[in-house]
């Protein structure tokens, strides 16, 4: 043994202990971890070596992270209530952090990583909140229960805090499995892209040019498409000779970049699920229902009157949701052995001061006993919340149900975002599953009154927030793993981000409800509307279980065929328009690998990956700008008429009208498509124009993927850029 250690030492390999990984240093000081941490082999080369010490968790990084968390959290609340969509914040925050710190004296890469870690918590918490909690304002309760389920600040803040912190706590024991052991399988596209952005900003030179070239193209493209509206963002084509079949694509730079990073295999499986839903199940439903005049639940109109979107809304999403349930169960079963070994190793660490002392910096998590005690404390707090039903035993049982579902879907959420990215993470699908299972348990024990609908929603809200933040946390931890951050400081930063952003999210949500009204035309809250409908459907026993079981066994068929069920299920759940641009990115990855002869060892640090990271960042930054432009209004200078018609008494009506100034969203001011009637200008080529512009962007990605491939890959690999091996 001593001879081996001496030989390793002579080759630059440290032999500090038998527990922590042995590290070799490359030319740039990046460590090559070749050891074993708690039974998990790690051959990754972080940008900052584990033995290197530099500023990380500093006052300025924490404060800036809190500010960004509040800003992006508030923007996400409005965007989620308005259109039911959110925008990933990690990459934009990382870019903004580097820019600000360069103006005020500079920073380290680890400080910038802490800023984006804390800031991203605001966006993920806000997403979980706005998808569920506003349903309290849409549901009707009996007078004696109305106060318990009132949409007040205390309820919003408590649900956000409990769900957000549980999402962080549950990812602590999962980190070594999902981030370290599965490093070559789970890409975490946004996390990898964020790491590339941070490293590019740190190193500068050609590496930075690749990322920021993609950033510029992504911003320009989406600015022209989504702000000036020069072409459609989702072109589609109805196959005339195939009844009910429509092919569509959301031609955005961020989805193209995600597809390139995750590669052709996962993107292909995902689009296969989308094809099954859009080109098999949807046409079948349309064909068989075309001449049926009766209404088939859960729809409220006959199939003969449905559009393809209606068929997805009433039928396909339930089938996809069932497939996601199966994929989640399989994922949970597969991860149980490693999760147990990770727990066992962490417990051993509690009683082994020597092992804890020898642990390297990049494997230093918050201790498991703090995680366990913190989770128990949250359960106790949850059990005494006013909306919890029954006696003390029932309260604690319901609280532990929340913890169980929370841990399950944090695991599922993390794996999903690892495969296909946060942009395609079906948080609403997981929340629907939680609501259905929770309501089924309530029905089984006889809890079917109106008040239990509020209880089920609060349970679903906590799980939704935990899953959303768990997915974001895993992306942040992946970024930290690639750049060489200390996990403990990231986890503490995430908890800080949860608490501070929850304060602003609650205030914003209540203010919007008071001024515009949740459920109004201005704030339709589509996801919250869906949650309230599902809860009522299960408790009233009107949910379409047959459709859900179809999806469940569809997932079983995929797994039996050797195809990973979860990415297929996600593709089946999402509209085909979300999968096709991802597949395009994966296809370009395949072509680039063949044309430029990119080796497997170099493909993860290739120019195409760096450029794609910039595309994702550009799309995300512009998405925030679009949300702001749609949220603020300007005075057009035109007058419109407001009128009122009141019946004061029989045969007596009051009619009044008066002129008022007309206000429109700022985004309408830039809407060239409407102002110049481009739909008429383009004519029948309207969709083709969008495809042409997307093809040009894809061609630019293919060209940039070959930039400097003659010698650059070796240099880029030396730079310590994250490996992102395809699943």
What is the domain partition of the chain in residue ranges? 2-41, 59-236+310-628, 635-670
Q: For residue 268, which of 570, 568, 591 has the smallest C-alpha distance?
A: 568
- pLDDT of res. 98: 86
H/E stretch holding 557 reads helix 545-560
- pLDDT of res. 61: 95
What share of residues in the chain are helix, strand, coil (percent, to 5)?
Answer: 70, 5, 25
Cα 221 to its chain centre, rounded Å, is 22
- pLDDT of res. 163: 92
Strand partners, 655: 645
- pLDDT of res. 724: 34
Pinpoint the alpha helices (H) of 277-386: 282-289, 308-311, 317-350, 353-358, 368-383
- pLDDT of res. 589: 92
- pLDDT of res. 56: 93
Helix axes 205-222, 686-705, angle to 10 degrees: 180
- The residue with tokens 């209540």 is 510
Could you count the other beta carbons within 10 Å of the beta carbon of residue 618? 29
- pLDDT of res. 141: 58
> Are the C-beta atoms of 565 and 326 separated by less than 8 Å?
yes
Task: Report the C-alpha gap between 612 and 617 in whole angstroms.
Answer: 9
- pLDDT of res. 660: 75
- The residue with tokens 């939680």 is 434
Q: Which two tokens stand for residue 27?
A: 């030319």
By CB atoms closer than 10 A (0-12, 13-18, 19+), residue 104 is exposed
Task: Report the C-alpha gap between 273 and 487 in whole angstroms.
Answer: 35
- pLDDT of res. 30: 37
The answer to whether the peptide bond before residue 276 is cis (omega within 30 degrees of 0) is: no
Task: Report the C-alpha gap between 591 and 205 in whole angstroms.
Answer: 27
| Tens digits of residue pLDDT in 305-343 | 998 888 988 899 889 878 877 887 787 677 667 556 655
> Are the C-beta atoms of 450 and 439 separated by less than 8 Å?
no
> Are the C-beta atoms of 381 and 392 separated by less than 8 Å?
no
CA 460-438-434 angle, to 5 degrees, is: 45
Task: Report the C-alpha gap between 400 and 667 in whole angstroms.
Answer: 46
* Residue 63 CB partners (closer than 8 Å, separation 6+): none
**β 36-37/40-41 pair status:** antiparallel
φ and ψ of 631, to 5 deg? -85, -25
> Are the C-beta atoms of 578 and 273 separated by less than 8 Å?
no
By CB atoms closer than 10 A (0-12, 13-18, 19+), residue 705 is buried
pLDDT < 50 stretches in the chain: 1-41, 353-354, 356-357, 601, 710-727
- pLDDT of res. 510: 86
- pLDDT of res. 188: 87
- pLDDT of res. 646: 60
H/E stretch holding 312 reads none
Cα 530 to its chain centre, rounded Å, is 19
By CB atoms closer than 10 A (0-12, 13-18, 19+), residue 428 is buried
Q: Is the pTM of this model over 0.85?
A: no
């Amino acid at each position: 043994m001593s001879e081996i250690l001496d030989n390793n030492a002579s080759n630059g390999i440290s032999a500090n202990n038998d527990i922590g990984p042995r590290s070799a240093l490359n030319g740039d000081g990046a460590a090559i971890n070749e050891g074993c941490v708690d039974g998990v082999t790690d051959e990754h080369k972080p940008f900052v070596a584990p033995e290197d010490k530099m500023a990380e968790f500093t006052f300025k990084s924490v404060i800036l992270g809190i500010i960004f968390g509040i800003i992006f959290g508030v923007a996400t609340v409005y965007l989620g209530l308005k259109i039911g969509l959110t925008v990933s914040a990690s990459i934009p925050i990382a870019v903004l952090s580097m820019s600000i710190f360069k103006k005020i004296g500079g920073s380290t890469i680890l400080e910038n990583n802490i800023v984006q870690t804390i800031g991203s918590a605001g966006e993920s918490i806000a997403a979980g909140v706005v998808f569920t909690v506003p349903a309290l304002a849409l549901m009707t309760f009996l007078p004696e229960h109305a106060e318990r389920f009132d949409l007040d600040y205390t309820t919003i803040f408590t649900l956000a805090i409990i769900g957000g912190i549980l999402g962080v706590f549950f990812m602590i024991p999962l980190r070594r499995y999902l981030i370290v052991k599965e490093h070559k399988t789970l890409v975490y596209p946004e996390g990898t892209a964020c790491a590339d952005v941070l490293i590019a900003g740190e190193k500068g030179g050609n590496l930075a040019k690749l990322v920021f070239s993609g950033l510029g193209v992504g911003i320009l493209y989406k600015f022209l498409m989504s702000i000036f509206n020069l072409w459609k963002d989702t072109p589609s084509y109805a196959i005339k000779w195939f009844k009910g079949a429509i092919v569509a694509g959301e031609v955005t730079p961020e989805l193209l970049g995600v597809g390139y990073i995750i590669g052709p295999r996962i993107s292909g499986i995902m689009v296969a699920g989308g094809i099954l839903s859009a080109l098999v199940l949807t046409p079948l439903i349309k064909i068989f229902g075309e001449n049926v005049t009766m209404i088939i639940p859960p729809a409220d109109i006959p199939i003969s009157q449905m559009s393809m979107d209606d068929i997805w809304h009433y039928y396909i999403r339930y089938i996809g949701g069932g497939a996601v349930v199966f994929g989640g169960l399989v994922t949970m079963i597969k991860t149980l052995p490693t999760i147990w070994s990770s727990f066992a190793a962490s417990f051993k660490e509690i009683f082994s001061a020597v092992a804890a002392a020898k642990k390297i910096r990049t494997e230093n998590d918050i201790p498991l006993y703090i995680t366990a005690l913190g989770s128990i404390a949250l359960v106790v707090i949850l059990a005494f919340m006013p909306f919890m039903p029954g006696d003390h035993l029932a309260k604690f049982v319901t609280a532990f149900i929340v913890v169980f579902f929370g841990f399950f879907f944090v695991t599922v959420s993390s794996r999903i975002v690892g495969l296909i990215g946060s942009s395609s993470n079906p948080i609403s699908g997981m929340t629907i599953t939680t609501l259905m299972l929770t309501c089924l348990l309530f029905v089984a024990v006889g809890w079917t009154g109106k008040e239990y609908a509020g209880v089920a929603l609060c349970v679903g809200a906590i799980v939704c927030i935990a899953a959303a933040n768990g997915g974001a946390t895993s992306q942040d931890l992946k970024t930290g793993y690639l750049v060489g951050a200390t996990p403990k400081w990231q986890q503490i930063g995430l908890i800080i981000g949860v608490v501070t952003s929850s304060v602003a999210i609650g205030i914003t949500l209540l203010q919007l409800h008071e001024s515009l009204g949740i459920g109004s035309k201005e704030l339709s809250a589509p996801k919250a509307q869906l949650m309230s409908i599902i809860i009522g459907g299960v408790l009233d026993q009107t949910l379409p279980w047959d459709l859900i079981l179809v999806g469940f066994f569809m997932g079983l068929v995929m797994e039996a065929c050797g195809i990973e069920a979860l990415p297929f299920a996600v593709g089946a759940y999402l509209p085909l328009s979300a999968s096709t641009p991802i597949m395009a990115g994966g296809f370009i990855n395949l072509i680039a690998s063949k044309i430029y002869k990119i080796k497997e060892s170099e493909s993860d640090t290739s120019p195409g990956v760096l450029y794609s990271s910039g595309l994702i960042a550009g799309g995300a930054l512009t998405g925030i700008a679009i949300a702001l432009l749609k949220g603020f209004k300007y005075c057009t200078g035109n007058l419109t008429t407001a009128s009122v018609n009141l019946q004061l008494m029989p045969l007596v009506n009051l009619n009044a009208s008066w002129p008022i100034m007309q206000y429109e969203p700022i985004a309408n001011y830039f809407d060239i498509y409407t102002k110049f009637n481009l739909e008429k200008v383009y004519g029948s080529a309207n969709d083709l124009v969008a495809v042409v512009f997307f093809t040009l962007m894809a061609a630019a990605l293919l060209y940039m993927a070959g930039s400097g491939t003659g010698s650059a890959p070796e240099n880029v690999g030396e730079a310590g850029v994250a490996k992102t091996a395809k699943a």
